[in-house]
Structure 1
Amino acid sequence: MPKPTKGPRLGGSPAHERIILRNLASQLFEHGHVVTTVTKAKRVRPLAEKLINRAKTDTVANRRIVNRTITDRGVVHILFTEIGPLMEGRDGGYTRITRIGNRKGDNAPMAVIEVVTEKVSSKAPASAADAKAQINTATEVADAKEPEVKEVAPEKTEGDAAIEHNTLAENAAADAPVAVEQDAVEAEEKTQA
């Protein structure tokens, strides 16, 4: 006995639901993103990901399988020539759903579903041994750098120390009247405010 699909039913009949999902997937590939309800975005995501996975390998068989779902030849061409090669290094997660708030009128939660175009970031090491090897190579590279040369200050004599002490005392004495004047100016500003 035929059973209805699990989850939300879009459009009423199963045929109408399939048409809605095909059209959403087609528009997603043509424009790169589609603004729709969160429910429709969640329902079209698996279909779009399966089609993109087929488009990663451009064969006649894969084109025919995709043509069963997407009947627009221009969109199929975009899928196989632009989107498929872009996703070559990616194992999944070809689409992204971002919620954008509720629609004015019926307050339906809206979302943008888009094709992810960013490059895949480098993967984390698969095992602890790989992680340890990466850390070891990083420390070897750091050790291979030229050693830093420290400058040695010339030794001070008693005469130099006395001169330095006198200049510090003169600087402190010169700064003292300025500090007193600044305190007076701040006090006047507080009284005026």
Structure 2
Amino acid sequence: MRHGKKFNHLGRKTAHRKAMLANMACSLIEHKRINTTLAKAKALKQFVEPIVTKSKEDTTHNRRIVFSKLRDKYAVTELFRDVAVKVGDRPGGYTRIIKLGNRLGDNADMAMIELVDYNETYNVAESSTKKKSTRRGRNKKASQDTAVEAPQAKEAPAAKDEASENEKPETSQE
């Protein structure tokens, strides 16, 4: 029975499970997306999210903690150099799991796990649509722009009035 057991053991002993998750995390950091079973993807998500959070602050202590989990210096270097820069402003949720259907041989649920900021398909749609700005308050720049535009707008009708006054005397003289 699994009373009080909080995570999926994936049918493996502790050392095998830790080694497998470390290898999968290194592959995810290197390739930015991997295909695996749904259960492994969910376990990997819980394993890799705290590691990415640690990489946001580049200190020797954080590098050593991450290296103790991943055990691959090239993955640690790429994580702190490239991935941490992209996810620096994100408060969490660094990975996305997309279900792919069932595997042909044993009918296992398959999934693709990917780093969110590296998917160009979703990020292009978000960046092309601008957020609608609200008109709750005005900043100084906006008020200065309207102040500059307002006198020009007033001068233009005044010029039209002068032109119409010039026309009226000419028509009255004739």
Given the two structures, how large is their TM-score scaled by the length of structure 2? 0.66
Aligned partner of 1:32 in structure 2 is 32
- Greater length-normalized contact order (CA 8 Å, ≥ 6 residues apart): 2
| Runs of 4+ in structure 1 over 4 Å off | 144-147
Aligned partner of 2:116 in structure 1 is 116
SS in 2 for 1:135: coil
SS in 2 for 1:136: coil
Aligned partner of 1:105 in structure 2 is 105
CA distance in 2, matches of 1:99, 1:90: 23
CA distance in 2, matches of 1:4, 1:70: 27
Letter in 2 for 1:70: L
Given the two structures, how large is their TM-score scaled by the length of structure 1? 0.60
Structure 2 stretches of 5 or more lacking a match?
128-132, 154-174
CA distance in 2, matches of 1:14, 1:63: 23
SS in 2 for 1:10: coil
Letter in 2 for 1:27: S
SS in 1 for 2:97: strand
How far 1:77 moved relative to its partner?
0.4
How far 1:135 moved relative to its partner?
3.3
Letter in 1 for 2:98: T
1:96-132 deviation digits (Å, cap 9, x = unpaired): 000011100100000000011166x79xxxxxxxxxx
CA distance in 2, matches of 1:17, 1:66: 17
Q: Name the % identity.
A: 38
Structure 1 stretches of 5 or more lacking a match?
123-132, 148-193
1:44-100 deviation digits (Å, cap 9, x = unpaired): 102111110011111101000001011111111000000011111000010000001
CA distance in 2, matches of 1:5, 1:59: 33
Q: What's the C-alpha RMSD, in Å, of the aligned pairs?
A: 2.6
How far 1:5 moved relative to its partner?
4.4
1:15-43 deviation digits (Å, cap 9, x = unpaired): 21111111111111111011000000001
**8 Å Cα contact 1:10/1:20 also seen in 2:** no
CA distance in 1, matches of 2:103, 2:116: 24
For the pair shown, the structure with the greater C-alpha radius of gyration is: 1
How many residues align? The count is: 130
Using a 3 Å threshold, how does the CA distance of structure 1 residues 79 and 137 change in structure 2: closer, same or farther?
Answer: same
CA distance in 1, matches of 2:52, 2:78: 11
Using a 3 Å threshold, how does the CA distance of structure 1 residues 17 and 4 change in structure 2: closer, same or farther?
Answer: farther
Aligned partner of 2:159 in structure 1 is none
How far 1:7 moved relative to its partner?
3.5
- 2:83 matched to 1:83? yes
1:110-162 deviation digits (Å, cap 9, x = unpaired): 0000011166x79xxxxxxxxxx933348xx7xx6999xxxxxxxxxxxxxxx
Using a 3 Å threshold, how does the CA distance of structure 1 residues 5 and 73 change in structure 2: closer, same or farther?
Answer: farther
Aligned partner of 1:51 in structure 2 is 51
CA distance in 2, matches of 1:73, 1:96: 24
